Structure 1
Amino acid sequence: MQNETKPLCGIDEAGRGPLAGALVMAGVVLKKPIDGLMDSKKLTEKRREALYTIVLENAEYHIVSFSAKEVDDLGISKCLQKGLQSIQNALDGCKYLFDGNSTFGVDNVSTMVKADDKVPEVSAASILAKVTRDREMIKMAEIYPEYGFEKHKGYGTKAHIEALMKYDRCEIHRRSFRVKGLDEPTLF
């Protein structure tokens, strides 16, 4: 019996901490090396977009998304757990490496802090997750222009908080994420 090496599936997420929008996870098995891969947050939007296309053409991948409502209903940890399981089911027979320090109770997953900047497969997953999420937030900006999602992608920037104070939450805001000044009881 030959000792076959299992391919590495890199896994990362985008959208764990924003006030609005989906949590997106990606798993990637590279078919060949790709130059220029690194943590998606360290790349320009233009470079991420270019690498996104290259990764899609040169990898097996699975992308899973959890809406703001699912994040509220299930919680971030359960969504991450379900996402890891979905990626394992879709990309079977791999070694799985998830960026971070928790497997969220999922067996056969290894973790590494900053793997998105150290391991090409995880860098590729980081790019797929971030570009997928960013594109969705740009679409949401067309539906909800008052929030400026195209700029901050749902994260808690000053402009986003100000829009929340003025317009309250829309359908894609996470209700379980508290916003100082918006979620505090007042005397009046």
Structure 2
Amino acid sequence: MRRRRVRPDRGLETGLLERHELVGGMDEVGRGSLAGPVTVGLAIVGRGTPSVFPERLADSKQLTARRRRALVEPCRDWLLDWAVAHAAPAEIDALGIIGALRLAGRRALAQVTARDHLPDAIILDGSNDWLAAPAADTGVRADRVDPAERAGPDSAVPPALPTPLVRTQVGGDARCAVVAAASVLAKVERDALMAALPDPGYEWASNKGYASAAHIEALSRLGASAQHRRSWRLPGLDVPDARR
């Protein structure tokens, strides 16, 4: 029997908006990739946000690339604010994947805070609260990464910010409209970033840094590049799996 696809709604975020002025949805993209950044999307809604969200909005994994791109502007128009931020491969190597997720998430929060839109609560996709975990050493260790190896012009180590209330939600990107919007925005931006990278033969444009057959073959032939997570055990290479 074919399983019915879950459609997002606004139930959870609407309930949180009864107690909080601003609510964010947050999702990550690229966690399991071999190369490229890990990317975090943040979508913000308020009590005045229209109740009807973009038509056919869904978890980015359930959408074609064309449909995701078509949803970007409707999502931006629907949301009160949004941000997408990254942690670079060198930062993933320095911090581990959880620390890098936290760094990217805090960079996204810093962007909306600069526009006076720091959310009071965040719906975080998944079961693990990687955003609010103690981060006392994240700024120090991230600051040791060469600025040239960080994730772009908006990738400074973020200032200390109050951490919003975090509500984890398994399947949040499929169930919650605000998290689905964050998922789409993050996926589209990261895909475009990967497709634009100089590529000596890894086929970034098609695999986006994930372990496709062509990517693995290129690793065995070309070795690891500056875009690869060198602390991971990369297929075909004798690299210690020290931080994964």
TM-score using structure 1 length: 0.88
Alpha-carbon displacement from aligned partner over 1:52-84 (angstroms, at most 9, x marks no partner): 122122221111111111111111111222233
Alpha-carbon distance between aligned partners in 2 of 1:170 and 1:42, rounded to the nearest angstrom: 30
Alpha-carbon displacement from aligned partner over 1:117-136 (angstroms, at most 9, x marks no partner): 00000000000111110000
The share of aligned pairs that are identical, in percent, is 34
> Relative to total residues, which structure has the larger helix share, 1 or 2?
1
Describe how 1:34-113 pairs up with structure 2 within 5 A: 34-59=54-79, 60-89=81-110, 90=112, 91-104=117-130, 106=132, 108-113=165-170
Match of 1:135 in 2: 192
Match of 2:33 in 1: 18
User: CA 1:152–1:105 in 2, change beyond 3 Å: closer, same or farther?
Assistant: closer
Alpha-carbon displacement from aligned partner over 1:95-135 (angstroms, at most 9, x marks no partner): 20110111126052110111000000000000011111000
Q: Is residue 26–residue 41 contact of structure 2 (8 Å, CA) maintained in 1?
A: yes
What is the aligned residue count? 181
Alpha-carbon distance between aligned partners in 1 of 2:20 and 2:69, rounded to the nearest angstrom: 31
SS in 2 for 1:36: coil
Q: 1:179 Cα shift?
A: 2.0
Quick check: 1:173 aligned with 2:193?
Answer: no
AA partner of residue 80 (structure 1): L
Q: Is residue 106–residue 131 contact of structure 2 (8 Å, CA) maintained in 1?
A: no
Alpha-carbon distance between aligned partners in 2 of 1:87 and 1:146, rounded to the nearest angstrom: 31
Alpha-carbon distance between aligned partners in 2 of 1:96 and 1:12, rounded to the nearest angstrom: 10
Match of 1:156 in 2: 211
Root-mean-square deviation over aligned CA pairs: 1.9
Gaps of 5+ in 1: none
Q: 1:184 Cα shift?
A: 6.0
Q: 1:24 Cα shift?
A: 0.7
SS in 2 for 1:65: strand
Quick check: 1:118 aligned with 2:139?
Answer: no
